[in-house]
Amino acid sequence: MSQAATLALESRQPMPGIGVYNQKFGMWVFLLSEVMFFTGLIGSYIILRFAHPDAFTEPGRVLNVPLTAANTFILIVSSVTMVKAFASIELGDQRGLRRWLLATVLLGAVFLSIQGVEYVKLAEHGFVPMVASYAAEGAPLYGMTFYTLTGFHGAHVTIGVLCMIFVTVKAFRGRYSQADHGGVEVMGLYWHFVDLVWIILFTIVYLI
């Protein structure tokens, strides 16, 4: 029992706390702020889109829905591999942890690559966030909202992949144990969040 808990018991005072360790609680709190961030962006997209629906239907044919659907599946699978990594270390399985973490990193990287390729192809078709001379003309509404939404999500995935590499390296160095693997759990929370945001984005931007 911790020193504080002992003190509490001895003095017959309640021991405060939420029963979740700091890093995990902190990650949940941070993710709450991320929810607000994406809500602001998605809300803006919805408002702009419903004010000018005509600006959005034509480009709907430009986006590659099947490819992105496959990409969505890849991201979902990466969440599964993340869960398996966490489950492994919960059982003390170091090999499993390393294997599944590597898989998650690879899948995350594949997701980003496919997104990148799609960006390039869209740009080749003239679908860009802004008009080349950003002086007087505005931008195609669809372009700027599409790239902003998916771009910020992509940035979050990129940061996630980088952190995931860091966690994987630590795993290979044997820094996690069955008793002590908060870093893996917290990484997992972030990764699942990023996946969830993507599912929502994909639905709103590609399907509706």
Round to whole Å and give the CA distance between 116 and 122: 10
Residue selected from 186, 194, 197, 201 as contacting other proteins according to rule CB under 8 A: 186
- Return the axis-axis angle of helices 22-51 and 182-201, rounded to nearest 10°: 10
Residue selected from 87, 148, 165, 206 as contacting other proteins according to rule CB under 8 A: 148
Between 13 and 66, name the residue whose CB sits nearer to other proteins. 13
Is 65 an interacting residue with respect to other proteins (CB under 8 A)?
no
Is 21 an interacting residue with respect to other proteins (CB under 8 A)?
yes
Total site size for other proteins, rule CB under 8 A: 61
**Options 62-70, 98-106, 108-116, 145-153: segment touching other proteins (CB under 8 A):** 145-153
Residue selected from 183, 189, 192, 206 as contacting other proteins according to rule CB under 8 A: 183
Among residues 192, 124, 115, the alpha carbon closest in space to that of 146 is found at 115
Is 126 an interacting residue with respect to other proteins (CB under 8 A)?
no
Structure tokens at 25: 């609680």
Residue selected from 97, 141, 201, 205 as contacting other proteins according to rule CB under 8 A: 141
Residue recorded with tokens 């990129």: 158
Is 8 an interacting residue with respect to other proteins (CB under 8 A)?
yes
Structure tokens at 29: 């709190």
Round to whole Å and give the CA distance between 17 and 179: 20
Is 66 an interacting residue with respect to other proteins (CB under 8 A)?
no
Chain residues binding other proteins by CB under 8 A are 2-5, 7-8, 11, 13-23, 25-26, 29-30, 32-34, 36-37, 39-41, 43-44, 47-48, 51-52, 55, 129-131, 133-135, 137-141, 144-145, 148, 152, 175-176, 179-183, 185-186
